[in-house]
């Protein structure tokens, strides 16, 4: 089965500086999250309908979906950025420091990101600033 | 003033996301040449670093390594500097977004960078976010 990769996001850029978390893979993050899976599937269905393409049953969709596709949908649902520098390392999920609001303090920015990610992925996350730069080859 | 190129520091290879300005090396040359106050600050920093053997001021500005010079320039202005290209064609001066203080707002952060640059280099510079 081919899962369409329909749109390009900012995450293709070659550097980032975000406050957030680092995870080994997002498939397992989504797999163990009963709240998140229906939202992701809902977004998938919405997009398939928009493009007039075949809609897979939920179970089949999650069996075949790749990490790139999941990443795009998660970015949309979270309203945050997800990066995977090159083909190596982990996934970085968070918000860019440069997106801090005009009247938002550094502390409020951190609290907002932490709250959002904890609500989605649960407690026990380790937050910090992640900064990477690399060349796209 | 001749700024020698070829010295590689961490600032040449790391990524950054700052709010500030981007200058061509010729611009840096002329703005430092035109500001005795800035030259004094840079020379003082150099003297502090190299206590035992220091070159006279004129000689120092004639023959300084680029990264060392930019490092002093950043310190003299109270800002960070980045020179991401090996040929030293451009330098970025500003503050990293991730260094925003806990009680500082986005607006206050921008204003502090703009004020620091205005105080150090004068008017005519437009700040924005630079990411590499």
SS3 call for A39: helix
At A87, list the tokens: 């083909």
User: How confident is residue A136, by pLDDT bands cut at 50, 70 and 90?
Assistant: low
Interchain contact, B132 vs A100, CB within 8 Å: no
Between positions 26 and 85 of A, the ones with CB within 8 A of B are none
Question: What residue ranges do the domains of chain B occupy?
Answer: 3-131
What is residue A94's predicted lDDT score, i.e. its pLDDT?
96
What is residue B122's predicted lDDT score, i.e. its pLDDT?
86
Could you tell me which residue, B75 or B68, shows the higher pLDDT?
A: B75
Could you tell me which residue, B52 or A123, shows the higher pLDDT?
A: A123
What is residue A109's predicted lDDT score, i.e. its pLDDT?
97
Contact A61, A46 (CB under 8 A): no
What is residue A135's predicted lDDT score, i.e. its pLDDT?
65
Question: What residue ranges do the domains of chain A occupy?
Answer: 10-133
> Between β-strands B128-131 and B80-82, what pairing exists: parallel, antiparallel or unpaired?
unpaired
User: Is B88 a residue whose pLDDT tops 80?
Assistant: no
What is residue A8's predicted lDDT score, i.e. its pLDDT?
41
Interchain contact, A17 vs B109, CB within 8 Å: no
User: How confident is residue A82, by pLDDT bands cut at 50, 70 and 90?
Assistant: very high
How far apart CA B45 and CA B75 sit, in angstroms, is 8
User: How confident is residue B86, by pLDDT bands cut at 50, 70 and 90?
Assistant: low
Query: Which of left, alpha, beta for A32 (phi over 0: left; psi -120 to 50: alpha)?
Result: alpha
What number is the average pLDDT over the span A58-72? 90
How far apart CA B113 and CA B128 sit, in angstroms, is 10
């Amino acid at each position: 089965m081919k899962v369409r990769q329909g749109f390009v996001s900012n995450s293709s850029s070659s550097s980032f500086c975000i406050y957030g978390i680092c995870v080994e893979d997002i498939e397992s993050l989504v797999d163990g999250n009963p709240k998140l899976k229906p939202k992701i599937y809902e977004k998938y269905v919405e997009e398939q309908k928009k493009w007039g393409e075949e809609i897979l049953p939920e179970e089949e969709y999650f069996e075949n979906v790749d990490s790139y596709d999941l990443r795009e949908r998660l970015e949309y649902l979270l309203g945050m950025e997800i990066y995977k520098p090159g083909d190596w390392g982990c996934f970085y999920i968070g918000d860019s420091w440069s997106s801090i609001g005009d009247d938002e303090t550094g502390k409020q920015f951190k609290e907002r990101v932490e709250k959002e990610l904890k609500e989605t992925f649960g407690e026990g996350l380790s937050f910090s600033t992640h900064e990477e730069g690399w060349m796209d080859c | 003033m001749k700024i020698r190129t070829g010295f590689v520091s961490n600032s040449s290879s790391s990524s950054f996301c700052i709010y500030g300005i981007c200058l061509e090396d010729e611009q840096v040359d002329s703005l430092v040449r035109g500001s005795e106050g800035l030259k004094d600050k840079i020379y003082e920093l150099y003297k502090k670093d190299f206590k035992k053997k220091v070159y006279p001021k004129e000689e120092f500005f004639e023959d300084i390594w680029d990264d060392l010079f930019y490092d002093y320039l950043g310190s003299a202005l109270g800002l960070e500097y980045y020179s991401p290209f090996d040929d030293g064609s451009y330098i970025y001066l500003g503050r990293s977004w991730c260094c925003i203080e806990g009680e500082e707002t986005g607006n206050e952060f921008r204003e502090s960078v703009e004020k620091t640059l205005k105080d150090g280099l004068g008017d005519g510079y437009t700040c924005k976010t630079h990411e590499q």
